[in-house]
Structure formats: C-alpha cells, structure tokens
C-alpha cells in the first residue's frame, strides 16, 4: 500500500489541524482532498503549516473553555427516565448510551452517543453517575435516575411449593421425615 503525506486542514481521527500525517493514498485521494480536510504536503503547503497550528491552538483553547463550562453545568443535571420493571427491580431492557444521549438532548445538551462512557448498560432501577467525554479531554459527570414505570414496582408472587411456613409443627414433621429416611438407609446398609 502506498502512503501519502498530507497537511491536515481540519481535525480527523488520524491527526489534528496543522499536522503532517501519512495516510493511505486512497483515503487521501477519495476523502481528505475532495472534502478539503487536507492538502498535499508540498513545500508551499508546509509554509502555511505554522498558521494552521496557531489557528488550531486558539480553537483548542476555546473548545477547552467551552467544555469546562459545560462540565460545570452538567454537574447539577439529573436525568430521569422510567422503564418497565419486573419483581426483582430488573428492567425489561436496559438504559444505554444512546438513551442517555437522547435524555441529554431533551434537556438541551448535544452530547453524542460515543461521548457517553459506560462500562455496561444499566439494567436495574436506581441512581447512577454517568461519565461523559467532552472536547479537549475534559470529562463531566451527570446523574441518571431510573424509576419504575408508573412509580410502582410489581409485588413478587407468592411461591406455591413452600416446604415449610416456619411453624414448629411443620419443622418437626419435616425433621421426622428426614430422620426416618436416614434410619431406613442405615438399615438397608446393615443388611448388605
């Protein structure tokens, strides 16, 4: 595979604005150059590299300040959602990063799904802290409250095959049956 050196005009996954990076020729030819996200790293383009780096530094400082301000705002945000739950407070389904992103959008915060950091989806009702990745490495935390739909948790159904209800008569009867079974096994072993 042939690689080309390009000067980035915009931030991309391969690098930041003002950097010279090596990318595959097809990526440069078919995407970066037609979309004006990069230019070939010629002598003339390299002269403008310092200007691009300065612009990127100014933009990075602005992005970081905006992200820190947003992080402070998000600290006081409580996201609430209702889900159907079973008898053991386990939800039918789960709350995922996409759900959290949608809840943030309802409150006026545009946070992409990929910027919601979850180890796993939430499957029980309760309150959970959720970490967010903001621009320029800034992180924030919001609280997520998952409630049972309608505010009620279904009551567990009583078990039908209960051996003992805790009455001493039932306990004594069960112990007698166990003792009888043990005696019968001992008699069978003695006869052999």
Domain containing residue 37: CATH number? 3.40.5.10
- pTM for this structure? 0.59
Q: How far apart are CA 105 and CA 108, in angstroms?
A: 5
Pick the last residue of a domain from 151, 168, 183. Answer: 151
pLDDT in tens, 159-170: 454 444 555 555
- Quick check: 127 and 144 in contact, CB under 8 A? yes
Tell whether 168 is covered by a domain: no
Q: Token pair of 71, please?
A: 């992080």
Tell whether 129 is covered by a domain: yes
Q: Token pair of 152, please?
A: 């009620």
pLDDT in tens, 42-85: 888 888 888 888 888 898 889 889 989 988 999 888 999 998 88
Q: Is there a single domain that holds both residue 90 and residue 142? A: yes
Q: How many domains does the chain have?
A: 2
The candidate with the shortest Cα–Cα distance to 113, out of 90, 92, 130, is 130
Tell whether 157 is covered by a domain: no
Tell whether 170 is covered by a domain: no
In the chain, which stretches have pLDDT less than 50?
Answer: 159, 161-164
Tell whether 144 is covered by a domain: yes
Tell whether 19 is covered by a domain: yes
**Containing domain of residue 141, as a range?**
72-151
3-state SS, residue 147:
strand
CATH code of the domain containing 130:
3.10.430.100
Tell whether 146 is covered by a domain: yes
Q: Is there a single domain that holds both residue 81 and residue 141? A: yes
């Amino acid at each position: 595979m042939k690689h080309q050196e390009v000067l980035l005009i915009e931030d991309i996954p391969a690098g930041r604005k003002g950097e010279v990076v090596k990318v595959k020729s097809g990526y440069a030819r078919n995407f970066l150059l037609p979309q004006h996200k990069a230019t070939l790293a010629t002598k003339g383009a390299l002269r403008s590299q310092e200007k691009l780096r300065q612009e990127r530094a100014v933009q990075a400082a602005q992005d970081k300040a905006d992200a820190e301000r947003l992080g402070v705002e998000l600290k006081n945000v409580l996201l609430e959602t209702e889900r159907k739950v079973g008898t053991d407070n386990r939800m039918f389904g789960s709350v995922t990063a996409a759900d959290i992103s949608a809840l943030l959008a309802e409150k006026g915060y545009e946070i992409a799904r990929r910027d919601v950091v979850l180890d796993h989806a939430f499957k029980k009702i309760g309150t959970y802290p959720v970490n967010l990745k903001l621009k320029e490495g800034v992180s924030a935390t919001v609280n997520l409250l998952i409630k049972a739909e309608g505010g009620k948790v279904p009551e567990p159904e009583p078990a039908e095959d209960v051996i003992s209800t805790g009455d001493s008569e039932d306990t004594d009867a069960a112990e007698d049956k166990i003792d009888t079974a043990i005696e019968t096994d001992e008699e069978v072993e003695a006869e052999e």
